[in-house]
Every structure is written in structure tokens, then in C-alpha cells.
Amino acid sequence: MNKRKAWLLITAACLLLASCRLAAALTLTEVMYNPTGCDDTDCEWIEIYNNADEPIDLSAWTLNNRELEGTLNAMQYLVIAKELTDATDADDDSFEKYWGNNDGTWDEADGFNAIDFIFSLANSAGIVNLSNGNESDILEYTSAMGANGNGNSLQRTIELGWEEGMPNPGEGAFATALEKDETEFELEIENIPPRILSINITPDEMDADGIQVIAGNKTVTFTVIVKDENSVEDIANITAFLGEAKIEMRKINQSNLTVTYEGSYQFKTSDERKTYNLTITAFDSETNTTEAREIEYVSRIATVLETKKIDFGKLSPGEVREQIIVIRNTGIDRVSISFSANNNNIAIEAFNEAWINAESANIIIEPGEREEIQLRAIAPNKKAGIFKGKLKVIAKAA
């Protein structure tokens, strides 16, 4: 399971203060010149820090001779990314995908300040020059310093040197030697996947197990409660699909650990009568959880004719022969079954306590029942030949 890391360093040293003799009011603090996991054109970045006691107008500064934009508040970090969010290139990699929350947009939810900027850092050796014309902070690096495609970045130390370490964009990665009265500790906060506590589906129009919706123009509402032990802020979003249709889910309530979402789907009378699969997926910053439910969209009157062909065989004029057909009631009402034939030359009868004309059969089938119905054909006094026709099942509410 992936874990997000939280670092706490207790130190008496003058971290990020002017007395630490930082080179300029605006200072280079971390450089990712050869990232792993994505291409240099997508994931190179540089971190800077305002160690002045007032905001700095970045437009007065250049990075490798290209003018910056915006304002950086006092004692604040800023990440300058080569491709902050995915551009129009062939891949979907970007700084936001790997160091943000991977929702395709850079905003407050990503947790720190970052801007898009045009620059390029060589992998073997290069220069990063941060300057306002009067003061400069310059890093001349080589691959021998480390962070060359091994997942690390170059980071400024409290002694104003540089060494490689685990990337920490937007939060400062100053390394420091410990004094005799200092100690260092770390803890790891385990990511707990979000849990879907409940999925409530309304209306449920039958007493049978599961969810049944009787056919018609019906709005079905889905209410989902999601819990995240890492806090509700860690719940990124949830998605819902009914079959292939995406359901728009909106947040309607929130507590300390749970969030409630709601969405709806409009069934139409023309929709196919079948079982639809509902899938709900809850995402946090690292993983997701999916649960599924089934919704039966059923008709009040519905039958299935399981017998696809009736062959009465070769008969003599006036001869009678019986066959059996099977009909299943898949609706929710009991039905009365009769038949109509499109060939008047052949008399078709059905047995319902006695043999009667198939058009008047009135055979009752209960919901969920499967009925074997006896039919018979009476061969007409006709010239030899093959007589064909279709027998249509007529189902009505009983």
C-alpha cells in the first residue's frame, strides 16, 4: 500500500533566514533536472523561496534569462514547472500528475504554489540562474552531484551547499546537519482507501430481493455515503455508471469523516427491460474503492416464448396432432395467455381444462412461473402440400 510521508524536523539552526547568508532575496532551493517516471519535457521543475520580509514582484526577476511573472509572498515557496498541467503533447504526463493530485487542474487542492514556465535543464551538466540584475542566485550542477535519473532532486542545505534527496516540491527541502542537542524523527501516515458505507437506491417498487423498478418514465435516485479515515479532504471525487451511462454525482452533505453524494437517472418507457449494473467508485489522492449494485427494470406484463418452432409433422386430412410450447411470465402481474394464427387453413386449439380455439385459450400464468401449454393442429381437407404460419402469443393482465 502506498504511504504519504509527513516530516517534522526540530532544529535550533536559522533555517531560511537572512542571517543564514542566502545569496539573494529570491533563492533557489530545489532542482529536479532529470526526473524518473516521466520525460524531462514534462516533469523538470525548480523550487524557489522568498526569504525577504515582504512580497517580491517576480516580473523583476529572470530565470535563465527569461522573465518570471506574478508575486511571491514573504517566506513562501514557489515551484516553477516545465509542464504544470498536461499540454497538447502525445502523452498525458505533467508535473500535476506526479506531484499534484492528478485531477488535470492545478489549484488549491494540490497543496502548494506552482506556475508554468519555459526552460530546459540538461542532464549531464547545466546552470540555473535566478537574477534581478543586481543580485543573483546561481546553481552550476553536474550529474556527479547526484539526482541524475535516480528519483531524487538536488536540494539546498542550511550551509548553502547542494546535495541530493527525496523530492519535496513546494514545501522546502533544506537539509541540515544536526547539532549535539538536536534529534530528528519522522512518521509515516498510512493511506486508508475510502470506504463506501452505503448505497441507497429509490424507488424500490417490489418486495423481492434486490432493487426493482417498474417500467415507465421513472427517475431513480442514488445516495452514496463515503468514509475516509485520512479525513474527508482526502476524498477526491466519486464516479457512478449505470450500464454505460455516466451518472453526475454531487456532494450534498459532509461531516468529519464522511461525505454524502447524490445522483439520478431517468428511465424511459422505451428502455430495455433487463438488469442494469450500477458501479460506484470512490477516489482518494492515491487509490480507489468500487462497489456494484443491480437494478432490475421490469414490466408489469412480460412473457418469454421459449419454444421457437412448432412442427406438427406430416398429417392426413382431418388428422389431429398435439405439441407442447413453453411460456415464461417474466413480469410482475399474472397474465392470461391466448393466441392468434395468421393461417386460417389450419385450426389451432389450446388445452385449458378442455380443448378450445387458441384465440380464446385464457391460460393463466403467475409471475415468475413457467408454463407448458398443450396445442393441437387439425389438418384441413386440402390438397397435399406444406402449410406454414405464425402463432402469436397474446398476454393480458389476468
Residue 8 pLDDT > 50 = no
Residues 6+ positions from 163 with CB-CB distance below 8 Å: 145, 146, 154, 155, 157, 175
Residue 18 pLDDT > 70 = no
Rounded Cα distance, 324 and 322, in Å: 7
Q: Are strands 335-341 and 347-351 parallel, antiparallel or unpaired?
A: unpaired
Residues 6+ positions from 223 with CB-CB distance below 8 Å: 198, 199, 200, 201, 202, 260, 261, 262
Across the chain, mean pLDDT equals: 88
* DSSP secondary structure code for residue 20 in this structure: G
Number of CB atoms found within 10 A of residue 73's CB: 13
Answer whether 276's CB lies under 8 Å from 293's CB.
no
What pLDDT, on the 0 to 100 scale, is given for residue 396? Answer: 87
Indicate the pLDDT class of residue 16, thresholds 50, 70 and 90. Answer: very low
- pLDDT tens per residue, range 240-277: 999 999 999 999 999 888 999 999 999 998 898 899 99
Rounded Cα distance, 331 and 55, in Å: 72
Angle at 261 between CA 257 and CA 267, to 5 degrees: 160
Residue 10 pLDDT > 60 = no
The dihedrals phi and psi of 234, each to the nearest 5 degrees, come to: -85, -10
What pLDDT, on the 0 to 100 scale, is given for residue 181? Answer: 61
What pLDDT, on the 0 to 100 scale, is given for residue 224? Answer: 97
* DSSP secondary structure code for residue 381 in this structure: S
Rounded Cα distance, 373 and 327, in Å: 8
- Only one residue has cell 514557489, namely 78
Answer whether 291's CB lies under 8 Å from 238's CB.
no
Rounded Cα distance, 357 and 326, in Å: 18
Domains, the chain, ordered by start: 3-190 (no CATH), 195-298 (2.60.40.10), 303-397 (2.60.40)
- pLDDT tens per residue, range 187-220: 888 999 999 999 999 999 887 788 999 888 999 9
Grid coordinates representing 133 are: 540584475
- pLDDT tens per residue, range 322-351: 999 999 998 878 889 999 999 888 899 999
State which amino acid sits at residue 341. Answer: A
Number of CB atoms found within 10 A of residue 377's CB: 23
Residues 6+ positions from 173 with CB-CB distance below 8 Å: 29, 30, 47, 153, 155, 156, 165, 166, 167
Per cent of the chain over pLDDT 90 is: 70
Grid coordinates representing 22 are: 542566502
Burial class (CB in 10 A: 0-12, 13-18, 19+), 279: middle
Indicate the pLDDT class of residue 294, thresholds 50, 70 and 90. Answer: very high
Residue 175 pLDDT > 70 = no
- Model pTM? 0.43
Indicate the pLDDT class of residue 15, thresholds 50, 70 and 90. Answer: very low
What pLDDT, on the 0 to 100 scale, is given for residue 23? Answer: 55
Grid coordinates representing 138 are: 546561481
Grid coordinates representing 224 are: 452514496
Rounded Cα distance, 239 and 87, in Å: 25
- pLDDT tens per residue, range 356-369: 999 999 999 998 89
- Report H helices in the chain: 40-43, 95-99
The dihedrals phi and psi of 209, each to the nearest 5 degrees, come to: -60, 150
Number of CB atoms found within 10 A of residue 334's CB: 14
Helix (H, G, I), strand (E, B) or coil at 186: strand
Per cent of the chain over pLDDT 70 is: 91
> Distance between alpha carbon 7 and the CA centroid of its chain, in Å?
31
Rounded Cα distance, 33 and 47, in Å: 11
Whether omega before 167 lies within 30 degrees of 0, making that bond cis, reads no
Indicate the pLDDT class of residue 72, thresholds 50, 70 and 90. Answer: very high
